[in-house]
Amino acid sequence: MEFTIPWEHYVAKYRYKYSALYHAIREGILTGTLQSGRRLPATRELARQYGISRGSAATAYDMLLADGYIITEIGRGTYVAVVRIEEKQAVHPSSEVSLSTWGKRVLEQQRREEAGGLLTSSETGEIHIEDQIRFDKGEMPADDFPFAEWRKVAFSKMEDEDSAVTDPAGDVLLRAAIAGHLGLSRGIAVDPDLIVLFSGSMQGIALLTQILLNESEKAVIENPGYPGFLQAIRVNGGVPIFASVDEAGIIPEDWDASLLYVTPSRHFPTGAVLPLSRRQELLAWAHKRNAIIIEDSYDSDFRFRGRPIEPLKVLDSEDRVIYMGSFSKTMYPGFRLGYAVLPRGLLQAARAVKSFYDPFPPGLNEQRGLGEWMRRGGYAKHVRKLTRLYGSKLHVFVEAMETYTDDFFELHVGDAGIRVYAIWKQNREKYVQFMDKCKQNEVYFTDSAIYQMTEDHKPAVYFGYVHLTDERIREGARRMAAAWEEIRNR
């Protein structure tokens, strides 16, 4: 008997195909279309019928299994279970939930991002076509992480019950290790007590903005810049001031504001390194305005050449700078940890806000594991190794791009980081045609429009390549060249 549960309705409704399939089959079971005891197709067959990957089919089955809708018997197949629970329908669904002002803003902001495509293509939908080349990923591939070594050091202290661990600012030994690391790698002298750990840097940015910015107050953001801070401003009801950025980074001005978010070590997304003189101007501005500066060291872990310029935090003699860092570029997927080094005057409030949301730090075992790994020197060794690897990967990428895409892309190659910003040299119309053609050729990249705060910008692209082999990088560049060839004389 052919398995013919319709799922078009669910495909339109759910973001992931496995989710659509899960709901389609569940609905079939609940409405009696698929009766108890009915045998279901094997995942391979299911994948073929619905044109999805086998992994997605298996995930849908796993979800149904966990729910108790189906049963699996080894060697005998998968069957519809005796369904235990009647699906309850809301008889009188409450007309409308009334959200708080804050709730409305967070929802509105989310909708705006989804509509405006603030999510990159790699974050939506499924990817299972073998021949795609995706330059739109910006994270270390899992293969580059030494899991065997990590497993030995992490989770080794899981059994401990230590009163020290209840510090909401995070594991005390990891904070000490981060302080040591910042001293060695950035020249920042840090008291570990001034460090608060967050579940990723976005949590830190969100919470710090919340304790600093009132409704209707202004905050300065780089343009182009990090959309997460724009989100934090808007969700809190604040008003963004868009600071201009040139090839050296943010251009200091006398903004009428008392909060600035800036990425001096490697501007997001252009990669520009802010010169010392501008750093000093930013601090002078902060002095004049009695302002706080959030300095985010985004994607500056892998440094290929050159000495870093002193962070604002080092130059800051008035204790106005929050220095933020993260481990999401150097650890494995799913590891989320950010930190902030705080001015002493902000410490109590920052601890209070973290403690309010997460009275016990989540991911504590990973925190302890990382602290121990740093203490033993394993983390530094891992970063050094990847720096060599990604340095040579960058070389391959730049060479390929210069060979094949020099007519239409101007690369901004920085001294550090795993992504490269490129400005489109041709006109906007050609850019749109080029993007379409690249999609046909199955080569993808991040349109940096999502990092532009205003409309009046040149087309630009943000490339990630560390997850690709050298050959795939070159092949990707060749496909872009081919796309350009097809449209250049239109």
Part of the chain binding a second copy (CB under 8 A), chosen from 355-363, 420-428, 429-437, 445-453: 355-363
Part of the chain binding a second copy (CB under 8 A), chosen from 244-252, 315-323, 428-436, 445-453: 315-323
Interacting positions 163-182 with a second copy (CB under 8 A): 163-166, 172-173, 176-177, 179-180
Side chain identity at 295, as an amino acid letter?
Answer: E
**Phi-psi sector, 425: left (phi>0), alpha (psi -120 to 50), beta:** alpha
CA–CA gap between residue 63 and residue 443 (Å, rounded):
32
Query: Given candidates 110, 392, 403, 427, which one binds a second copy under the rule CB under 8 A?
Result: 110
Query: Given candidates 212, 233, 370, 466, which one binds a second copy under the rule CB under 8 A?
Result: 212
> Are residues 249 and 225 in contact, defined by beta-carbon separation less than 8 angstroms?
no
Residues touching a second copy, count (CB under 8 A) = 125
Map residues 78-107 to x or -, x wherever contact with a second copy holds by CB under 8 A. ------xxxxx-xxxxxxxxxxxxxx--xx
Map residues 34-63 to x or -, x wherever contact with a second copy holds by CB under 8 A. ---------------------x---x--xx
Interacting positions 215-234 with a second copy (CB under 8 A): 217, 228, 231-232
**Phi-psi sector, 408: left (phi>0), alpha (psi -120 to 50), beta:** alpha
Which among 68, 91, 88 has a CA at the least distance from the CA of 80? 68
**Phi-psi sector, 420: left (phi>0), alpha (psi -120 to 50), beta:** beta
CA–CA gap between residue 266 and residue 166 (Å, rounded):
34
Part of the chain binding a second copy (CB under 8 A), chosen from 31-39, 66-74, 274-282, 427-435: 66-74
The verdict on 144 binding a second copy (CB under 8 A) reads no
Interacting positions 372-391 with a second copy (CB under 8 A): 374-375
The verdict on 343 binding a second copy (CB under 8 A) reads yes
The verdict on 116 binding a second copy (CB under 8 A) reads no
Q: How far is the CB of 18 from a second copy (least distance, A)?
A: 7
Side chain identity at 176, as an amino acid letter?
Answer: A
Compute the residue count for the chain: 490
Query: Given candidates 2, 8, 73, 123, which one binds a second copy under the rule CB under 8 A?
Result: 123
> Are residues 260 and 291 in contact, defined by beta-carbon separation less than 8 angstroms?
yes
Query: Given candidates 16, 79, 255, 304, which one binds a second copy under the rule CB under 8 A?
Result: 16
Query: Given candidates 206, 438, 466, 480, which one binds a second copy under the rule CB under 8 A?
Result: 206
CA–CA gap between residue 155 and residue 367 (Å, rounded):
9
CA–CA gap between residue 488 and residue 295 (Å, rounded):
42
Which lies closer to a second copy via its Cβ, residue 102 or residue 251?
102
Please spell the DSSP secondary structure of 391-427, one letter per residue: HHHHHHHHHHHHHHSTTTEEEE--SB-SEEEEEE-S-
Query: Given candidates 39, 48, 155, 251, which one binds a second copy under the rule CB under 8 A?
Result: 155
Q: How far is the CB of 236 from a second copy (least distance, A)?
A: 8
CA–CA gap between residue 284 and residue 343 (Å, rounded):
17
The verdict on 213 binding a second copy (CB under 8 A) reads yes
Question: Rounded to a whole number, what is the largest CA-CA distance in the chain?
Answer: 77
